Chains A and B, each alone.
Chain A
Amino acid sequence: MNILEVKDLRKRFGDNEVLKGIDLSLKKGEVLSIIGSSGGGKTTLLRCLNFLEIANNGEIVVADKTVFSATEGEKPTIAPEAQLSFGLVFQQFNLFPQYSVIENLMLAPKLRAKRMGTGEKIEDIEERAKQLLATVGLTEKANEYPCRLSGGQQQRVAIARALMLSPDILCFDEPTSSLDPELTGEVLRVIRSLKDSERTMIIVTHEMEFARHVSDRVIFISDGVIEEEGTPEELFGNPKSEKLIAFLSAGQE
């Protein structure tokens, strides 16, 4: 069963069409990497999936439920549970600076429990937060504030925070691009460990080596369309389109 289906997604900023009809599907537990040069539309695609941008046209189906649908020129419909179907880890972490690590994890679930009257107990939320901190290897930093953590540690907190709401699909927007090279390893290791626990993930990345090893499938986006798609072996070992060949060889120079 496909956990995610995206159909004919289009996004314009003024006259500039950034996404020109994206179709993709994802199976549960699958890891998809999106590669492509800057300005090609890969970050916009991720932002549309997380409703930080609202697509002008297209459909997003999560676990057979249409959570978003839009037709050019009409008001889009967004299901109430759409937002939490997706989680997003930002390039710039975006932790809440005034809260400690564990409070960063607990804030949104606590507010949600209160707002929805789910009756979920604070202790249960705290327990889940502690487990996730252990998963990302930061148990001993639970009471630190973000400004006292390295970039790599902040990004691992951000990953744990995104997992608190158990999204169906976890998205990463260039998760290591604002990190010093020596700190990217710890973040990539955490992402890899999530793959082993059967998380469905979409990763926009510039780390080709990482994309090759962690992904089940890779798509190459250029000028707002999916130029090429396949297994990492196919895309990196035997690229077909001229654009992809140029993109990959430019990265090696």
Chain B
Amino acid sequence: MEQFINITLDLLVGFGETLKIFLVTLAFSLPLGLIIAFGSMSKFKPLSALTRAFVWVIRGTPLMLQLITVYYGPGLIFGRVLLTSVSAVYITFSINYACYFSEIYRGGIESIAKGQYEAGQVLGMTRRETFFKVVLLQVIKRIIPPMSNEIITLVKDTSLARVVTYYELIYFAQRYIKNAGLLWPLFYTAVYYLVFTALLTFLFGKLEKKLSYFN
């Protein structure tokens, strides 16, 4: 029993590391995604082409490969390590998720009827006012389901960070196999992921309900 409690607490520390990746990634990728979305919708063709090509590369290659490239790449090219594993993980995850979010934002923004912008214009509102005061909340309402999907995927993708020696939940559990011959902590980690995703699902459900007063 004492062993179970100790391992539970130890894994909780590992989950804390997982949570750090999750929160830092969201903090950077949510706004960065909006910038990328504007880039890919730009009327300036070279910018939109460049942005779309970037999104294609990031979405078209495995996150694990991107992590390895960012962490080990500088060492192979310049002969010295530039990034700690922590910053490599934060940078790679943020860029990767920003690209996925940008496509969700773009879909949401483009789904808003032209009439909303036109109504704003004929009422003398600026384009900026129309976007932030009229369009944005409608976009947020529409993208909640795909965003909640993507954010729940992020919770589990954090486990990839261990390929560049970032010590997160799965890594903590695997040590028990090597050091104590205990296999069960590895499977036990599922409970942490499940509880956390249940919490997220609950929060997104709440948000969806809060915005259900209009359509």
Contacts and interface: CB of A to CB of B under 8 A. Distances in A.
B215 A87 contact: no
B116 A108 contact: no
A88 B116 contact: no
B124 A165 contact: yes
B45 to A, nearest CB: 19
B130 to A, nearest CB: 9
Nearest to B214: A97
B49 interface: no
Contacts of A83: 121-122, 124
Contacts of A162: 122-123
A108 B123 contact: yes
Interface string B113-142: 101101111111110010001100110010
Interface residues of A, number: 27
B125 A96 contact: no
A112 B130 CA distance: 12
A52 B122 contact: yes
A108 B126 CA distance: 10
B184 to A, nearest CB: 50
B200 to A, nearest CB: 24
A92 B115 contact: yes
A90 B119 contact: yes
Given A94-B116, A94-B119, A96-B134, A108 B124 contact: yes
Contact of A98 (B118, B121, B137): B137
B213 interface: yes
A111 B125 contact: yes
A24 interface: no
Contacts of B129: 111, 115
A96 B119 contact: yes
A110 to B, nearest CB: 9
Contacts of A86: 122
Tell me if B's interface is mostly helix, strand, loop or mixed.
helix
B142 to A, nearest CB: 11
Interface string B175-215: 00000000000000000000000000000000000000111
A63 interface: no
* Residue with the greatest number of chain A CB neighbours at <10 A, chosen from B119, B137, B214: B119
A51 B115 CA distance: 14
B41 to A, nearest CB: 20
A147 B113 CA distance: 15
A41 interface: no
A87 B123 CA distance: 7
A97 B133 CA distance: 12
A98 B113 CA distance: 14
25 contacts: A50-B122, A52-B122, A86-B122, A88-B122, A90-B118, A90-B119, A92-B113, A92-B115, A94-B119, A97-B215, A98-B134, A98-B137, A98-B141, A98-B213, A107-B123, A107-B133, A107-B134, A108-B124, A111-B125, A111-B129, A111-B133, A146-B214, A161-B123, A162-B123, A165-B124
Given A52-B118, A87-B122, A165-B124, 13 more contacts: A52-B121, A83-B122, A83-B124, A84-B124, A94-B116, A96-B116, A98-B213, A98-B214, A108-B120, A108-B125, A115-B129, A145-B213, A165-B123
